[in-house]
Amino acid sequence: MAPFGESFIFLRADRAVPYGDLMDVLEILRTGGYAKIKLVALEGVPDAQSVPAANTAGR
């Protein structure tokens, strides 16, 4: 087992998690001594029914 703070933490969140909440979690981990944090992305693209349509007004 790696010494405290030397282990990687893998963090995954989907689009339903507000960006500010994700940043809060990263800050809590950082202030707790965890500097090696990796964000995990899922492979593949979600189907069109689960992704809200982009607002293209004004483009």
The whole-number mean pLDDT for each consecutive block of 10 residues of the chain, a chain of 59 residues, reads 79 90 95 92 64 55
- The pLDDT, as a whole number, for residue 14 is 86
Q: 31 is in which domain, residue-wise?
A: 9-39
- Please give the tally of structural domains in the chain: 1
For residue 54, give every residue at least 6 positions away whose Cβ sits within 8 Å of its Cβ, in sequence order, or none: none
Is residue 14 domain-resident? yes
Residues 37/8, Cβ–Cβ less than 8 Å: yes
Is residue 46 domain-resident? no
- The pLDDT, as a whole number, for residue 44 is 64
For residue 13, give every residue at least 6 positions away whose Cβ sits within 8 Å of its Cβ, in sequence order, or none: 22
